[in-house]
Amino acid sequence: MHDALMAALSTVNDPELHRDLVSLGMIERAEVTGGVAQIKVNLTTPACPLKGQIEREVREAALTVPGVSEAVVTFGATVRMAAQPALPGVKHVLLVGSGKGGVGKSSVAVNLAASLAADGARVGLLDADVYGPSVAHMLGQGAARVTANAERKMQPIEAFGMKFISMANLSPAGQALVWRGPMLHSAVQQFVKDAAWGELDYLIVDLPPGTGDVQLSLTQTVQVTGAVIVTTPQDVALIDAARAIDMFRKASVPVLGVVENMSYFVAPDTGNVYDLFGRGGSRKLGEGYPLLGEVPIDMDVRQDGDAGIPAVLAHPDTPAARALIGVARNLAGQVSVLAVNKELAQSLADLPDQLTVV
């Protein structure tokens, strides 16, 4: 009956990867006892955005097997790597950038990291905006200090189930940094390579605005899986976001998607929707790139950030938090698609140059 069950499960495709679960190696267990099928699916990310659809289709497929009257579907998750580890123990480095400041990039980065961690992923967050670090404040850790471990590596601070490092935790409060390019490059290398990040599925990097030295240093220092572009619908922000996309293209960093922040405002008293900065501009910007989500203006996001707790944890049912959770899961899905496609490309490249047909 095991073979019949596996044959039935081979008809179920991962909705994002467009290949069946069996050939993807995602069926960890498939057993039938007393008419009950016990199936464990090993997802490619704990933040799978289509887990419910997969569960439903697996159950329906199992129930087509003669002798199966009930199907119990459980899940595990193993994040796959797109190539060699970006860093020892780190599967994916994901850059969060923008063409200009003031678009809410850091708020998006913090909430993406918190959402992925809440879904069960192992997450690190690097605040690479050395001139304007805000991650520590948004995580309620502004007074914490980064220390060194026994191997003389920087020990990231832990908050809300994730690890993070920020210049705010290394320099005196309120002190301005006046650094030239070489010093920035050295600092970025230390944050990335001289920190004890441990085993991570995702290292989220909050970049400074623009297309400067930090971005260049990171793309030259580590193997980057991809980048996320944060913008508002406003034309001036979209123009600069296009420049950021072009920068990543020139650096051979895949753009995994676009986030339209401050997309609209819903009046709490009437429910009317107002497009304060325009609407839908990022869809045009993102032609060829997935739109990961549209995040509305929400006072809770600002208040929670000031209070030191990510909005996706403090108020997960608000429209903005739901949108941010959706963005995080869509991003995880894009990373999985990229990783599996590279696995397939590598396996094809490893085939003999010539096959003998008998």
Is 193 known as a binding-site position?
A: no
Taking each helix axis from N to C terminus, what angle separates 299-307 and 105-118, rounded to the nearest 10 degrees? 80
Residue of 53, 41, 49 lying closest to 5 (CA atoms): 41
Is 99 known as a binding-site position?
A: yes
Q: How far, in Å, CA of 183 to CA of 185, rounded?
A: 5
Q: How far is C-alpha 237 from the chain's CA centre?
A: 22
Q: How far, in Å, CA of 90 to CA of 168, rounded?
A: 23
Is 278 known as a binding-site position?
A: no
44 close to 120: Cβ distance less than 8 angstroms: no
Q: Residue 148 pairs with which residues in a beta bridge?
A: 154
Is 103 known as a binding-site position?
A: yes
Q: How far, in Å, CA of 167 to CA of 146, rounded?
A: 9
Q: Residue 321 pairs with which residues in a beta bridge?
A: none
CB atoms within 10 A of CB 38: 16
Alpha helices (runs of H) in the chain, residue ranges in sequence order? 2-9, 51-62, 105-118, 135-138, 181-193, 213-221, 235-250, 281-285, 299-307, 311-314, 319-349
Is 263 known as a binding-site position?
A: no
Phi and psi, residue 352, nearest 5°:
-60, 150
Q: Answer positive or negative: Cα dihedral of 256, 113, 212, 221.
A: negative
> Can you tell me whether residue 143 is helix, strand or coil?
coil
Is 212 known as a binding-site position?
A: no
Token digits of residue 62: 């199992």
Is 100 known as a binding-site position?
A: yes
The string of DSSP codes covering 210-244 is SSSHHHHHHHHHS---EEEEEE-SSHHHHHHHHHH
Residue of 139, 174, 185, 175 lying closest to 159 (CA atoms): 139
> Can you tell me whether residue 13 is helix, strand or coil?
strand
Total length of the chain = 358
77 close to 46: Cβ distance less than 8 angstroms: yes
- Binding residues for ATP, as ranges, are 99-106
Query: Which residues are known binding-site members?
Result: 99-106
